[in-house]
Amino acid sequence: MAENFDVKLDSKTYIPDPSYLENSALGDYKKAYAEFLSDPDGFWAEKARELDWIKPWDKVKEWNWPNARWFCGGKLNISANCLDRHVKNGRRNKLALIWKGERGKEEIYTYRQLYRAVMKFANALKELGVQKGDRICLYMPFVPEHVIAMLACVRIGAVHSIVYAGFGADALHSRIKDAEAKIVITADVGIRRGKIVQLRSIVADAVRNSPSVEKIVVLSRERCPIELYSEMEVDFYAIQEGVSEECPPEEMDSEDPLFILYTSGTTGTPKGIVHSSGGYIVGAHYTSKYIFDIKENDVHWCTADPGWITGHSYIVYGPLSVGATVLITETTPDYPDPGIWWSLIEEFGVTIFYTAPTAIRMFMKVGEQWPEKYDLSSLRIIGSVGEPLNPEAFEWYYRVIGRNKCPILDTWWQTETGMHMITTPLGQPMKPGFAGVPIPGVVADVVDKEGNPVPPGQGGLLVIKEPWPAMMRTVYNNPPRYNHYWNQIRDWYTVGDLAVKDEEGYIMVIGRSDDILIVAGHNLGTAEVESALVAHKAVAEAAVIGIPDDLKGQAVKAFVTLRQGFVPSQKLVSELTYHVRMTIGPIAMPSAIEFMDKLPKTRSGKIMRRVLKAKELGVDPGDISTLEE
Ligand code: PRX
């Protein structure tokens, strides 16, 4: 997508009830932003002081472009910030986690129970030989043990790399291999839409030729001892028998890595985004408290999976660091019927609900009769993340779910940013289609390729001009890929999104400017799908583009040329679709595959996806002077 386009800015404005502003932790946005600008380091130091540090930092920030260090010299432990301090300070018996399984099973953990469970599992990991800095891969269903495993890693200084349990064996294998994971934690099965997913066999496939992996920890969903298939496997609960109940938190340097999370890039290999300890938790805590405005009695429900950054920051680390009650559930939005999520809001009195536009559009399609059956009056704030929330979806969400009173926090951010960056803070007028403004702590702008600000209404590239605490620190094993974010437009962080500003500085994010697709809110590199396709014996070359989709925002369309001896057929379409599903996962499955004799290329041999896209959408392909024929 090119950045030279114009957008009409006649958005309707929604004014929230003044009580939201009066009661918000952030208070007046303009005042808070001015305070930040007048003393950025002082602003972040004040936020960081709300956490527990074993040793305070000597310096708030060291910025040696493009590398930042935050809270230099400070020591802390994130699990102690999410657990110990609440156990000590009055939230001992407060509910930390409420879990609802797809089959109706429920489990609850108070802060004390979670704290004890984390310490035991942390000790079991130590018994397996896990040491500070070791990488642990989690490939788990969304059960409480998933959160326990995350916090246990963090407690002993191990670096978790969570792989969403919907990914296929190849995707899991490449992530295990890149991170050189020592341990993989999984479960016998996952349950999705009433069906059993054999996670353990996917892991068994994925660890072949992964010499770093020493053990596979298998959780039995039914908590009964399970048969172990190989010497590598150990039972999640059996390894906890007899271990000490106490596990003091490891002292971590503020800059020690906290986790790696893989995200799609413009090449076939995903990027291992590395987040730090101190800066990340300051960002996750600050935004949970001052942007989501989580208060003592809130019941917070973010519908993401921990396999995505949204789950890391706004199911686990942010909400638990502020001592919130968090609803977690493995349910999907339409199973057993599209009323399931609304029934959970009614049942548990959810007050803050955070979901994705693709789910909202699905709900719009199936009709208002589903939410109308349930009492949603507990809701006070509703949020959106992952892709642009189009004005129609905004209006439906506001009216039907928010009952014309709940502010919508449409939060723009990324795996790389670690925390919310742009939104409409509580109490500010909301404009459908616009995510909002940079939050205090963030300096963002929309500029042209040379870095000049573009006038209101004109498209440009979104950039972040100053470092922020929760920014990624590097790309694992690949620092040049990290530097690339910072060396495209002046010395700013280039986001990779196209955006437009209006006269008041509200930012509308339009979509990606590179070869990344956002399919149902999930980031997917066209190159990743292409390399899965060309790994199939029938395929000579492949080009993948995103096409508009009413529900998913974008869907995958693939164009392929075949090797000699293969002919196009419907059977081959099904086979290739299945092949992508098994290689990367269901998210990446093409919704259409077209066979071609040759793909459009530049004279230097680069595939011109832009030409395919223009043909598909019936629009002008722009400059095609470099096209070979
Ligand atoms: O294109 C933007 C889109 O999602 C990308 C980041 O994807 P990921 O790293 O997977 O993180 C998703 C969850 C934080 C962005 O570059 N995106 C995310 N949130 C929004 C959005 N686009 C528009 N509006 C949003 N609120």
What is the predicted pLDDT for the residue at 429?
96
Task: Record the tokens describing residue 209, joined without a space.
Answer: 């030729």
Grade residue 13 by pLDDT with cuts at 50, 70 and 90: very high
Cα dihedral 35, 38, 41, 42 sign = negative
Q: How far apart are CA 407 and CA 568, in angstroms?
A: 51
- Quick check: CB of 512 below 6 Å from ligand 1? yes
Bigger pLDDT: 378 vs 551: 378
The three-state (H, E, C) secondary structure of 246-281, written as one string: CCCCCCEECCCEEEEEEECCCCCCCEEEEEECHHHH
Q: Are 154 and 77 in contact (CB under 8 A)?
A: yes
* pLDDT of residue 357 exceeding 70: yes
pLDDT tens digit string along 455-486? 999 999 999 999 999 999 999 999 999 999 99
Beta strands in 364-521 (DSSP E): 381-385, 408-411, 422-423, 437-438, 444-447, 460-464, 474-475, 493-501, 507-512, 516-519
Nearest residue (by CA) to ligand 1, atom 7, is 414
Cα dihedral 485, 486, 487, 490 sign = positive
Task: Return phi, psi of residue 355, to 5°.
Answer: -140, -165
pLDDT tens digit string along 287-329? 999 999 999 999 999 999 999 999 999 999 999 999 999 999 9
- Quick check: CB of 305 below 6 Å from ligand 1? no
Q: Give me the percent of the chain exceeding a pLDDT of 70.
A: 98
Report the alpha-carbon angle 450-454-458, nearest 5. Answer: 125
Task: Record the tokens describing residue 88, joined without a space.
Answer: 């000590």
Q: How far is CA 317 from the centre of its chain?
A: 13
Nearest residue (by CA) to ligand 1, atom 26, is 412
What is the predicted pLDDT for the residue at 269?
83
> How far is the centre of ligand 1, averaged over its atoms, from the C-alpha of 498 (Å)?
11
pLDDT tens digit string along 268-277? 788 999 999 9
Residue whose pair of structure tokens reads 């973010």 in the numeric block: 302
End-to-end alpha-carbon separation of the chain, Å? 22
Q: Are 300 and 344 in contact (CB under 8 A)?
A: no
Grade residue 515 by pLDDT with cuts at 50, 70 and 90: confident
What is the predicted pLDDT for the residue at 521?
85
- Quick check: CB of 440 below 6 Å from ligand 1? no
* pLDDT of residue 39 exceeding 70: yes
The β-bridge relationship of strands 257-263 and 271-276 is antiparallel
Task: Record the tokens describing residue 428, joined without a space.
Answer: 């500010």
Average pLDDT, the chain: 94
Grade residue 72 by pLDDT with cuts at 50, 70 and 90: very high
Task: Record the tokens describing residue 624, joined without a space.
Answer: 């095609």
- Quick check: CB of 412 below 6 Å from ligand 1? yes
* pLDDT of residue 628 exceeding 90: no
- Quick check: CB of 435 below 6 Å from ligand 1? yes
What is the predicted pLDDT for the residue at 12?
85
73-82, 523-532, 552-561: least confident range: 523-532
Q: How far apart are CA 196 and CA 589, in angstroms?
A: 20
Grade residue 446 by pLDDT with cuts at 50, 70 and 90: very high
- Quick check: CB of 410 below 6 Å from ligand 1? yes
Q: Is 319 exposed, middle or buried (0-12, 13-18, 19+ CB in 10 A)?
A: buried
> How far is the centre of ligand 1, averaged over its atoms, from the C-alpha of 308 (Å)?
11
pLDDT tens digit string along 189-223? 999 889 999 999 999 999 999 999 999 999 999 88
Grade residue 382 by pLDDT with cuts at 50, 70 and 90: very high
Mean pLDDT in residue range 77-98:
98
* pLDDT of residue 423 exceeding 70: yes
Q: How far apart are CA 60 and CA 602, in angstroms?
A: 48
Cα dihedral 396, 402, 408, 413 sign = negative
Mean pLDDT in residue range 360-376:
95
Mean pLDDT in residue range 338-359:
96
The β-bridge relationship of strands 422-423 and 59-64 is unpaired
pLDDT tens digit string along 235-288? 999 999 999 999 999 999 999 999 999 998 877 788 999 999 999 999 999 999
Mean pLDDT in residue range 445-451:
96
Task: Return phi, psi of residue 430, to 5°.
Answer: -105, 140
Q: How far apart are CA 103 and CA 330, in angstroms?
A: 9
Rg (CA), the chain: 24
Mean pLDDT in residue range 160-184:
96
What is the predicted pLDDT for the residue at 433?
93
Residue whose pair of structure tokens reads 């400070």 in the numeric block: 74
Mean pLDDT in residue range 355-367:
93
**497, 508, 512: which to mutate for ligand 1, most atoms within 8 A of CB?**
497
What is the predicted pLDDT for the residue at 298?
98
- Quick check: CB of 413 below 6 Å from ligand 1? yes
- Quick check: CB of 518 below 6 Å from ligand 1? yes
> How far is the centre of ligand 1, averaged over its atoms, from the C-alpha of 342 (Å)?
25
pLDDT tens digit string along 539-564? 988 999 999 999 999 999 999 999 99
What is the predicted pLDDT for the residue at 619?
82
* pLDDT of residue 1 exceeding 70: no
The β-bridge relationship of strands 195-197 and 190-192 is antiparallel
Q: How far is CA 474 from the centre of its chain?
A: 17
Q: How far apart are CA 80 and CA 152, in angstroms?
A: 10
> What DSSP letter does each residue of 97-139 carry, written as one string?
EEEE-TTS-EEEEEHHHHHHHHHHHHHHHHHTT--TT-EEEEE
Grade residue 2 by pLDDT with cuts at 50, 70 and 90: low
Residues with Cβ within 8 Å of residue 503, at least 6 apart in sequence: 9, 456
> How far is the centre of ligand 1, averaged over its atoms, from the C-alpha of 385 (Å)?
7
What is the predicted pLDDT for the residue at 547?
93
Name the residue among 367, 322, 368, 305 with its Cα closest to residue 142.
Answer: 305
Task: Record the tokens describing residue 549, joined without a space.
Answer: 């989709």
- Quick check: CB of 415 below 6 Å from ligand 1? yes
The model carries a pTM of 0.92
- Quick check: CB of 310 below 6 Å from ligand 1? yes
> How far is the centre of ligand 1, averaged over its atoms, from the C-alpha of 354 (Å)?
14
- Quick check: CB of 509 below 6 Å from ligand 1? yes
The β-bridge relationship of strands 381-385 and 352-355 is parallel
| Burial annotation 442-464 (CB, 10 A radius, 16+ → b, else e) | bbbbbbeeebeebeeebbbbbbb
Query: What domains can you pick out in the chain, each with its CATH number?
Result: 18-77+257-441+467-512 (3.40.50.12780), 119-250 (3.40.50.980), 516-617 (3.30.300.30)
What is the predicted pLDDT for the residue at 626?
65
Grade residue 494 by pLDDT with cuts at 50, 70 and 90: very high
Nearest residue (by CA) to ligand 1, atom 2, is 387
* pLDDT of residue 625 exceeding 70: no
* pLDDT of residue 604 exceeding 80: no
What is the predicted pLDDT for the residue at 3?
64
* pLDDT of residue 4 exceeding 70: no
Q: How far is CA 330 from the centre of its chain?
A: 16
Q: How far is CA 122 from the centre of its chain?
A: 25
Q: Are 164 and 186 in contact (CB under 8 A)?
A: no
Residues with Cβ within 8 Å of residue 564, at least 6 apart in sequence: none
